[in-house]
Amino acid sequence: MKIVGLETFLVNPTGRGRNWIYVKIRTDEGIEGVGEAFNTGKDKATEAVIHDYGRWLVGKDPTKVVYHWQALYRSSRFPLGTVSMGALSAVEQALWDITGKRYDAPVYKLLGGPCRERVRAYTHVHGDTPEELAKNASSIVRKGFTAIKFAPHPPNYLRKGVNAVIREAFERVKAVRDVVGEDVDICLDYHGVEFSPCNAVKMAKALEPLKPFFLEEPVLHENVEALLEVKSKTTIPIATGERLFTRYGFRELIEKRAADIVQPDPIVCGGILETLRIASEAETRYMTLAPHNPFSPVATAVCVHVDACAPNFLIQEYIPDEGVRRKIVKKPIRFEDGYLLLPEEPGLGIELDEKILSEYPFRPWDREVAIKEDGSIGLV
């Protein structure tokens, strides 16, 4: 079996906001594989890199997944950035999809078989006020979720003082805790918006009585020592990793055990096998795995195959497949009673509905620039 070509699809499901970037790799035996790339806003650049990788792939055996990954990663000589790593991750997923279909097995069975029968998931809660957050949290829990996530910060936090932000954050989290009870896990995403570790510690200390499941990205990833400082001063488990690539990018974080939970994103950190390698390294330090995934149903399927195989898996970020999301793939991963179910179909177990994709054409998108009250640039 040989690769004969590839296609890309840039899809904007809402007519605004992020695009979804897909690759489909074709073979001479009619077997096709799909993958999803991380979107940075430089989505046309990611698409171009995917097609550039096609120059290497065409004419070669698609089942040599590690071989092709090494060729594309090592041949650059210099470290790859977000655009190239997103492209490489998408290609790797598509090659696994083809390989699973070639051997008539789900990808997780090719990776050692499942460690679990289902995958616990959490989803996002939104709301500007504590009351809105609480109402939406209650609605999501009624859908079967046993864990939820939201940002503790109030709207316009960049224009408020530290004490006001912490006070309002406590009110937001307490409102949710009061309505969902003690048995629903509350995950909090700091989004790395705090430059000062001491302010992140103040926030964590204020929220500890509300028993968060984890605090994500209390500081940015560039300085592992700063993250370790926060971790050492709070009882809330610390999670991070969505902005890191490959096992090499995670090395210092894991070696210093600067977090409790690693959050690699399979559609940018290097793909399925690389995520499992990161999880394995984390396992040696007694750190758990909670993959990052605010993306499409294709990324969800990719994550589920990783989660099935990682002994130290904790929980999976998941956006429910409702509305447009349910149209993008012909058979989304099933969600029941707080868990995602493992697909039984070969490969990734999902198939793009290409007739639908054309109804949601690409639109340029850029992440917002955060401007603080004094006119300087803030973190987002």
The residues annotated as belonging to the active site are 191, 292
CA-CA distance, 200 to 230, in Å (whole number)?
7
CA-CA distance, 370 to 367, in Å (whole number)?
9
**Could you please report the per-residue DSSP string of 2-25?**
-EEEEEEEEE-SSSSS--EEEEEE
Contact 89, 271 (CB under 8 A): yes
Say which residues have a Cβ less than 8 Å from residue 202's Cβ, sequence separation at least 6: 162, 166
Would you tell me how many other CB atoms lie within 10 Å of the CB of residue 269? 30
Question: Structure tokens of 14?
Answer: 């809402």
According to DSSP H, which parts of the chain are helical? 43-57, 65-74, 82-102, 107-110, 130-142, 162-180, 197-207, 224-232, 246-255, 272-283, 297-309, 325-328, 354-357
